[in-house]
Copies of this chain bind each other. A is one copy, B any other.
Amino acid sequence: MKFKNYLNDKKILIDKTLDSVIPAEDKDPSIIHQAMRYSVFGGGKRLRPALTLASAELLGIDNKTAIYTACSIELIHTFSLIHDDLPCMDNDDFRRGKPSCHKVYGEPIALLAGNALLVYAYKTILKNNDFKEIKKETILSLIEEMTRCVDTENMLGGQVKDIIQEKKENKKEYLLGLYKQKTSALICAAIRSGAILAEATEKEMKALTRYGECIGLAFQITDDILDMMQDQRNPDKITYPGEFGIKEAKKDSEKFILEALDALKIFDDKSGFLSGLADYILTRQV
């Protein structure tokens, strides 16, 4: 399958670069660097950074120029996963089939390793300073995009809502809002960051943003469907398939995928990876 080959190919470059930006395991204080590496190299598919590379590529920017931006997105993702798993948050003992960071390194080190990954995301994006072809304004826009995607309107706001579990009249509207914050925000930032690097037009940016939002929603709904089918659903949390049934969840997820594909039309046939991802989400089993 073309999409999987592309992803595996990009994963090699992404992993190599992540290895170069995170301090070595034996660097003092080594336990936090071990914890950071344990989680970053704990089996992630690298979907988000691959999206950055793909949107940059679509608009004419090569992988070498986009790689630090892509990796900064993966570091943000790992930061959020480590903190999500903490005992005071979701209290998850496992992540991607392995003991979660705090089960291996203890709660305080996991907390600090999460913080450190957020800080290293900024360090990594600042590495764009080494590229003469990237304007200083562009780097500032990338930093702004990344900061906005984590703020209390987006990822952090989503985590708050996940905890307080408000009772809302319109559950569908509420859940889609929550998924936008929890999942679409970072996926959007990944795609938009590639486009920022390429100095995309407003029309291109709008199309890619809509694609990212829809892909994010479909991805999260599918995730919840898979959790439910594998009996891994957290009974304390309301989810899309839990509220509306698997059939309706699948139907709505497909609707978002079609909307995402529709947004890509302005790029003609060049958006191979992005449309491939849409198909992948529709058919994914894990």
**Residue A1 at the B interface, CB < 8 A?**
no
Interface string of A131-160 (1 = CB under 8 A from B): 000001101100110011011100011011
B122 and A32 form a contact (CB under 8 A): no
- CA A89 to CA B115, docked complex, whole Å: 14
B111 and A164 form a contact (CB under 8 A): no
- CA A147 to CA B157, docked complex, whole Å: 23
Interface of A toward B, CB cutoff 8 Å: 23, 27-29, 31-33, 83, 86-89, 107-109, 111-112, 115-116, 118-120, 122-123, 126, 129, 136-137, 139-140, 143-144, 147-148, 150-152, 156-157, 159-161, 163-164
B115 and A164 form a contact (CB under 8 A): no
Nearest-neighbor residue (CB-CB) of A160 within chain B: B29
A116 and B29 form a contact (CB under 8 A): no
Nearest-neighbor residue (CB-CB) of A33 within chain B: B152
B residues in contact with A163, CB < 8 Å: 108-109, 112
Checking B32, B140, B143 against A160 with a beta-carbon cut-off of 8 angstroms, the contacting residue is: B32
Which 3 residue pairs of A and B lie closest in terms of their CB atoms, listed nearest first? A136-B136, A88-B107, A29-B160
Checking B23, B89, B157, B159 against A152 with a beta-carbon cut-off of 8 angstroms, the contacting residue is: B23
Known contacts A32-B156, A139-B140; is A151 also within 8 Å of B111 by CB? no
Please list 5 pairs of residues, one from A and one from B, whose beta carbons are closer than 8 Å in the complex, sorted by A's number: A88-B111, A112-B163, A116-B156, A119-B147, A119-B150
B residues in contact with A139, CB < 8 Å: 140
Known contacts A33-B152, A111-B86, A152-B29; is A147 also within 8 Å of B160 by CB? no
B residues in contact with A147, CB < 8 Å: 119, 122-123, 126
Known contacts A122-B122, A143-B126, A157-B32; is A83 also within 8 Å of B152 by CB? no
A112 and B159 form a contact (CB under 8 A): yes
B152 and A126 form a contact (CB under 8 A): no
Nearest-neighbor residue (CB-CB) of A87 within chain B: B88
A126 and B144 form a contact (CB under 8 A): yes
Known contacts A83-B111, A147-B126; is A156 also within 8 Å of B119 by CB? yes
Least Cβ distance of A122 to chain B in Å?
5
B residues in contact with A164, CB < 8 Å: 29, 31
